[in-house]
Amino acid sequence: RPEPAGPGKAAAPQPSPPAAPVVSTPLHVTVVLAADACTDRTVERARTAWAASGLAAEVARLEVVTGTWRSAGGARAAAASWALANSRPEWIASTDADTAVPAHWLTYQLGRAAHGVDAVLGTVEPDPAECPVAVYRLWQREHTLAEGHPHIHAASMGVRAACYERAGGFPPLECSEDEALAAALHRTGARIEATDRIRAITSARFEGRAELGFAHHLLGLAQLAGQPEKAPRPGPAQPPRPEPAGRPNGARFFAHRKNT
């Protein structure tokens, strides 16, 4: 991924390397794409990108579930339910279609799971290459990008499958389904770890389908900063980047490791 900071952009310090070793054994991963009331080419583009990735079927595969949940919680729950019903997952990891996670994102989570952690809460930041600097600075003031941070983002989190089921899974809420799941995990005694070592970069758009979602929050910051209420786009100095499949329609991705 290109260096996100550019002229007039502010960038948060990058997270430290993982403190614990990531798993090095071969993984058996299924990626479940939940396409929620999509009206674009989300599914087609996802399948094309997957085919071009060259990943061997015995190592990783893509599955797609479609529906009209029209809610982040409903889509995430459907993806997780498919995984639980059709595979034997040890771990379920959640992210979004407009989010880029680091290469060690899943292996780090599995490494922590091997040390007894039941859920990993990662950090997320708006893409500094897209986010107006005034908005990004306001965002920085209210977010802690450090170990033990207080934030909960379904765009970068993972949970042991057994603990996910015990907690009741993602509730079908339009937003804050991640906070509801984290609260349920706490109530059921899960060991939860918050880390900045798997920081994800997400779209800095101001328009989103969830009324109180991440885009809505950025829009509020833009209004405070006196910025135009339009989704920001990279300036001419930035190299062109393909639009992630499903960005307008809020597709959800899940990846999980199967027992061997």
Using one digit for the tens of pLDDT, what is the confidence trace for 116-151? 999 999 999 988 888 778 778 887 888 889 999 999
Given a contact cutoff of 8 angstroms between Cβ atoms, the answer to whether 34 and 252 are in contact is yes
Name 117's Cβ contacts closer than 8 Å, sequence gap at least 6: 191, 192, 193
Distance, in Å, from the CA atom of 229 to the CA atom of 207, rounded to the nearest integer, reads: 9
β-strands 89-96, 157-160: how paired?
antiparallel
pLDDT of residue 32 exceeding 90: yes
Q: What is the DSSP letter of 100?
A: E
What average pLDDT is seen over the chain? 80
Given a contact cutoff of 8 angstroms between Cβ atoms, the answer to whether 34 and 75 are in contact is yes
What kind and span of H or E run contains 62?
strand 60-67
- What would be the CATH architecture of the domain defined by 29-234+247-258? Alpha-Beta Complex (3.90)
Name 30's Cβ contacts closer than 8 Å, sequence gap at least 6: 60, 61, 62, 63, 83, 87, 89, 255, 256, 258
Given a contact cutoff of 8 angstroms between Cβ atoms, the answer to whether 252 and 84 are in contact is no
**Residue 245's pLDDT band (cuts 50, 70, 90):** very low
**Residue 241's pLDDT band (cuts 50, 70, 90):** very low
* pLDDT (0 to 100) of residue 215: 64
* pLDDT (0 to 100) of residue 233: 46
* pLDDT (0 to 100) of residue 119: 99
Pick the residue with more confidence: 146 or 207? 146
* pLDDT (0 to 100) of residue 9: 41
Domain extent listing, the chain = 29-234+247-258
Distance, in Å, from the CA atom of 121 to the CA atom of 156, rounded to the nearest integer, reads: 7
Using one digit for the tens of pLDDT, what is the confidence trace for 64-121? 999 999 999 999 999 999 999 998 899 999 999 889 999 999 999 999 999 999 999 9
